[in-house]
Amino acid sequence: MRAARIPKRAWVGLGLLVGLGLASWLAGRVFPEALAHTCPLGRDPTHPDRTVCELAFGGLWVSLVIGLAAGGVSTAVGLGVAMAARAAGGFVEHQILRAVDAFFALPDVLVVMVLQLAGQSLLDAGQAGGLGPFGLMVVSLALVGWAGPARMFRNRLATLEGQEFVAASRALGAGRWHLLRLHLWPALRPFVLAVFLSRLPTAILTESTVSFFGIARMEPMSLGRYLGTSYAALIYEGGSRVVLPAWGLLVLLVLGASLASQALGAGTRRA
């Protein structure tokens, strides 16, 4: 079976993501002093010790890492649940799917806010199991984000298992593990990447919104927390120079992930 060609739009999205990741890593982590001395946007009036570029690129790195970690965990959990549901089949699969649908109907922002409240209370009481604000945010986002991928993977697995090559392999005596390793997983792999990329913008936007409210205590600041703590700058003359760069980076980040996931998703559906 010839590998499906990756669409041009997916390359654009992936290039944008990698470019932003590299830029934030180089600017925020490797050469932070370069931004401190050469930032054309000047200092942030609400954080006078830092330049706008330092805060925006530092926030971009944190938002990206949170998105990648939360997207990765949600995708892995979703895949595990889907495989368990398919392996169980019948009544158990039906009940798992109903639970998945109930979770999927919950609004992300609201549930993450409640989970953050619970997590921070555990953190304050020293019972968070070694998780810091970053870990808490990733766990909260993964807890609300696994249901969508689980539904998508289950449907994809059901479609793949109905294909002739799987039936032929079964007829030749292939076991469940052999089928999964040699036939289902190679066909599922591009779809897993597309689903992971589709979780990325959702996780980043949810984290940004919750951090903007001041509920998450992300340190160093993510883009959302930075915007939440700096928006008072808008009341000063020229304050938009503080808000617009962070917004632009957030939009580009989400745009890159959306373009890549949509193009890869469409490609795998056609394949």
Partner 1 sequence: MSSVLVRLGRQVVLVPLVALASYFLMAALPLTSDDEAKRQVSPEVLASYRRDLGLGEPLGFLRPWQKLWRGERLGTSAQGVTGDELAWKLSGSVGVGLVALGLALGWALGFALLRARWRRSRLSLVTDMLPAAAFGTPVFIPALLFAPEVVERGHLLPEACAALVISVWPGIFLGTLVADALDTELARDYVRTALGKGLSPRAVLWRHVLPNVLPALLDAVGPVATALLAGSFAAERVFGLPYFGQLYVLAVLQKQVAVVVVATTVFASLLVGVGLVVESVRFLVDPRAREAAS
Residues that bind partner 1 (CB under 8 A): 98, 102, 105, 107-110, 113-114, 116-118, 120-122, 124-125, 127, 201, 205, 208-209, 212-215, 224, 227-228, 231, 234-235, 239-240, 243, 247, 250-255, 258-259
Closest CB 194 distance from partner 1, rounded Å: 15
In terms of Cα–Cα distance, which of 35, 20, 62 is closest to 219?
62
Closest CB 2 distance from partner 1, rounded Å: 28
Tokens read off for 101: 């649908």
Nearer to partner 1, 169 or 229 (CB): 229
Nearer to partner 1, 230 or 268 (CB): 230
Nearer to partner 1, 160 or 250 (CB): 250
Nearer to partner 1, 193 or 246 (CB): 246
- Distance linking the first and last C-alpha atoms of the chain: 10
Task: Compute how many other C-beta atoms are within 10 angstroms of the C-beta atom of residue 53.
Answer: 22
Nearer to partner 1, 160 or 204 (CB): 204
Q: Do residues 138 and 73 make contact, with C-beta atoms less than 8 angstroms apart? A: yes
Angle separating helix axes 147-161 and 90-104, nearest 10 degrees: 140
Q: How is 129-166 classified by DSSP, letter by letter?
A: TT--HHHHHHHHHHHHHSHHHHHHHHHHHHHHHTSHHH
Q: Do residues 47 and 227 make contact, with C-beta atoms less than 8 angstroms apart? A: no
Closest CB 40 distance from partner 1, rounded Å: 21
Q: What angle do CA 46, 51, 55 make, to 5 degrees?
A: 80
Measure the CA–CA gap between 234 and 263, rounded to whole angstroms: 37
Closest CB 156 distance from partner 1, rounded Å: 20
Nearer to partner 1, 99 or 168 (CB): 99
Residue 57: exposure state from Cβ atoms within 10 A (0-12, 13-18, ≥19): buried
Nearer to partner 1, 98 or 189 (CB): 98
Q: How is 66-133 classified by DSSP, letter by letter?
A: HHHHHHHHHHHHHHHHHHHHHHH-HHHHHHHHHHHHHHHTS-HHHHHHHHHHHHHHHHHTT-STT--H
Closest CB 161 distance from partner 1, rounded Å: 26
Closest CB 38 distance from partner 1, rounded Å: 26
Closest CB 262 distance from partner 1, rounded Å: 8
